Structure 1
């Protein structure tokens, strides 16, 4: 029987999804270095996938607990944009189905912008409901950032259809008459909050990219309103834009009013 080429072996290994695949036993006996390296690479890939899958399942802990209690609609809520000097604070609320299967969904801060941008529409396609809330810089200046964040979260939950039976929120209390579970670092512990963090981040980043076209000197496309050196230099030279938070330091210092 003709021995497979290394290229053919790699093709077979690429199809494997389990380290217990019987084809792996035969291939392990192949002494060629190229085959052994390909087997090791496949083992690393499958171990990494198994770890990601286990972590994904662990992030369903809270949702499954509520589903077992008969609470059908569980919403994860998260926000983005509390720290920037410009732009709005944005919240998202997401109700996921029990068969949600996007393994890559995790705390948005752990993901690259490209992965977040790929995942956001997939989350929206699988979700039972997605809600967005937003408070602009004027509302932030009027309310303070903490209260503005709560308002944005309330808006996000209010726009969900159906309304949730339970809310999992990242360390905040939302002013709605719905049971709530507050989690520190909830975006890393709950799959629904992870999904909400991605949707909120992508939504806000898109807004800041649009603002960057209006105010290119402030480099919003790269800093999303955070106080980078280039942003601060523009503030010092040009003063604040209409989307800056006037109650935030050092924006108030650079105001020309």
Structure 2
């Protein structure tokens, strides 16, 4: 069972991101403050949930949270400052967007750039340990999936509605055939090896 709080602060915000390993699209972060002793029978790390479960949990979290916010860093920002710093930037934007000021930050992962004077703790695999981080994980994932769904309407050949910009064989094959878009992260290795491409499906 996931824990409801780490610090004991009433306004403890869980913070998580989605899309760090993608080749295209923004990196997205969410910050969520849940009510004290909040419980949810399905809430867990978003990677352990199917799409239908994530969508249901998103509705519940948006309804029940004391405060929540989403932050993004664009592909251009990722290319300019690197993915780690861009992830911190997206997290800071999410925290800044909260309708109530967090008294403590619970960060998924092992690294974070301090946000002002707000104390924080990093928790490795925290989205499977604390409800607020799990809630942030779900909001970040579902928001980013929506973004990639919209971008897929503009660039249909990359299959972003299926791969969300991750480096699947389908995605890399499309880059090889059609080139990169403004939504790709040009500082990333988009086509790492000819062997990978030769193993990719011939049809998109």
Give the TM-score taking structure 2 as reference length: 0.90
Tell me by how many angstroms 1:142 deviates.
0.3
Tell me by how many angstroms 1:203 deviates.
0.2
Secondary structure in 2 matching 1:77: strand
Tell me by how many angstroms 1:251 deviates.
5.1
Query: Which residue does 1:214 correspond to in 2?
Result: 154
1:124-145 superposed Cα distances (whole Å, 9 cap, x missing partner): 1100000111001000000100
2:120 is the alignment partner of 1:175:
no
Secondary structure in 1 matching 2:106: strand
RMSD (Å), alpha carbons? 1.4
5+ unaligned residues in a row in structure 1: which ranges? 1-54
Runs of 4+ in 1 over 2 A off after TM superposition: 250-253
The 5 Å alignment of 1:27-46 reads none
Tell me by how many angstroms 1:99 deviates.
4.2
Q: In the alignment, which of 47, 56, 66 is matched to residue 7 of structure 2? A: 66
Secondary structure in 2 matching 1:120: helix
| Structure with the larger RCO, 1 or 2 (CA within 8 Å, 6+ apart) | 2
Asked if the contact 2:114–2:120 (Cα under 8 Å) also holds between the matched residues in 1, the reply is no
2:72 is the alignment partner of 1:131:
no
Asked if the contact 1:85–1:251 (Cα under 8 Å) also holds between the matched residues in 2, the reply is no
Tell me by how many angstroms 1:190 deviates.
0.8
Query: Which residue does 2:102 correspond to in 1?
Result: 164
Asked if the contact 1:245–1:251 (Cα under 8 Å) also holds between the matched residues in 2, the reply is no
Greater share of helix: 1
Give the TM-score taking structure 1 as reference length: 0.72
Tell me by how many angstroms 1:218 deviates.
0.2
Asked if the contact 1:88–1:135 (Cα under 8 Å) also holds between the matched residues in 2, the reply is yes
Larger radius of gyration: 1
Count of residue pairs brought into register by the alignment: 191
